[in-house]
C-alpha cells in the first residue's frame, strides 16, 4: 500500500509561511519608514520652535567698531569649510575704512590685545580651518606688514578639567567679542559670554 505523500502539503505550507512573513516584513518596513518620516518632521518643527524662542541680546554701542574680514583664504579651504565661512559671514558684516590695521590671530607672537580703539580697524581672517593647519592668518598679516595681535584669552581664562582647549574662534564670535568688549570694556565678561563652554576654558579664580 502506498504511503500518502506529505511533500506537497508541506511545500504549500512553507510557501504560505514565507508569504505571511513577507507581508509582515513589508508592513513593518512601511511602519518604520512612516515612523522615521514623522520623527524627522517633528525634529524640524522643534528646531523651528527653538529658533523662534531664542532671545537675541541687543545692545547699543557708543563706540565706532571697525571690522574687516580678509577673504584671501578661499584656496586653503575645502567645500565644507567654505560653506561654514558663508554661514559665518551671514551673521556679520564689515565696514572697510582707511584706518590703521590690527590683524587678529590666535597665533600672534606679539603681546595680546589690551584695548581696542575706534581709530583702528581690526582685521579677521576669513578662514575656516578644520584641518588644523594654523598660523595662516598670522603669515598673511606678516606678508602684508600688518601688526598681529591675539585676544588675551589665556590671561583671563584657564583650562578646566576637560574640553577642546581650542582658542580659535569663528568670525562671528570674534566680532561679538569685540562688540561686547566695546560695550562693557571688560575682557572677562566678553569671553564668558562668547567662548563656547566645550572649549574647556573658565575664568581664572573660579
For 13-53, how does the pLDDT look when each residue is reduced to its tens digit (9 = 90+)?
Answer: 566 666 666 555 666 666 667 777 887 877 777 766 665 55
* 52 vs 108, higher pLDDT: 108
Active-site residue, from 42, 70, 107, 129: 129
- Give the whole-angstrom CA distance, residue 166 versus residue 201: 9
Q: Report pLDDT for 20.
A: 61
The predicted model scores a pTM of 0.57
Does residue 2 register a pLDDT over 60?
Answer: no
* Predicted confidence band of residue 206 (pLDDT cuts 50, 70, 90): confident
For 140-192, how does the pLDDT look when each residue is reduced to its tens digit (9 = 90+)?
Answer: 888 888 899 999 999 999 988 888 888 788 888 998 999 899 989 999 999 99
State the cell numbers at 164.
Answer: 577642546
Q: Report pLDDT for 124.
A: 84
Does residue 113 register a pLDDT over 70?
Answer: yes
Q: Is 174 exposed, middle or buried (0-12, 13-18, 19+ CB in 10 A)?
A: buried
Question: What is the tally of helices (H) and strands (E) in the chain?
Answer: 6, 6
For 128-152, how does the pLDDT look when each residue is reduced to its tens digit (9 = 90+)?
Answer: 666 555 678 888 888 888 899 999 9
CB atoms under 10 Å from CB of 39, counted, come to 10
* 184 vs 87, higher pLDDT: 184
Give CA angle at 199 (161, 131), nearest 5°: 120
Q: Is 129 part of the annotated catalytic residue set?
A: yes
67-203: CATH architecture: 3-Layer(aba) Sandwich (3.40)
* 91 vs 32, higher pLDDT: 32
Amino acid at each position: 500500500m502506498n504511503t500518502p505523500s506529505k511533500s506537497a502539503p508541506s511545500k504549500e505550507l512553507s510557501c504560505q509561511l514565507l508569504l505571511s512573513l513577507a507581508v509582515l516584513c513589508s508592513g513593518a518596513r512601511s511602519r518604520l519608514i512612516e515612523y522615521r518620516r514623522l520623527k524627522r518632521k517633528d525634529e524640524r518643527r522643534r528646531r523651528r520652535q527653538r529658533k523662534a524662542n531664542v532671545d537675541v541680546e541687543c545692545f547699543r554701542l557708543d563706540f565706532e567698531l571697525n571690522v574687516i574680514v580678509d577673504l584671501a583664504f578661499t584656496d586653503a579651504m575645502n567645500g565644507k569649510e567654505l560653506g561654514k565661512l558663508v554661514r559665518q559671514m551671514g551673521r556679520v558684516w564689515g565696514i572697510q575704512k582707511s584706518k590703521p590695521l590690527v590683524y587678529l590671530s590666535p597665533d600672534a607672537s606679539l603681546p595680546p590685545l589690551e584695548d581696542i580703539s575706534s581709530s583702528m580697524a581690526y582685521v579677521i581672517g576669513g578662514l575656516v580651518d578644520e584641518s588644523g593647519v594654523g598660523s595662516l592668518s598670522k603669515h598673511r598679516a606678516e606678508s602684508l606688514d600688518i601688526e598681529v595681535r591675539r585676544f588675551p584669552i589665556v590671561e583671563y581664562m584657564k583650562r578646566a578639567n576637560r574640553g577642546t582647549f581650542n582658542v580659535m574662534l569663528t568670525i562671528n564670535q570674534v566680532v561679538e567679542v569685540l562688540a561686547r568688549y566695546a560695550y562693557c570694556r571688560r575682557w572677562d565678561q566678553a569671553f564668558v559670554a562668547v567662548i563656547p563652554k566645550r572649549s574647556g576654558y573658565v575664568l581664572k579664580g573660579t
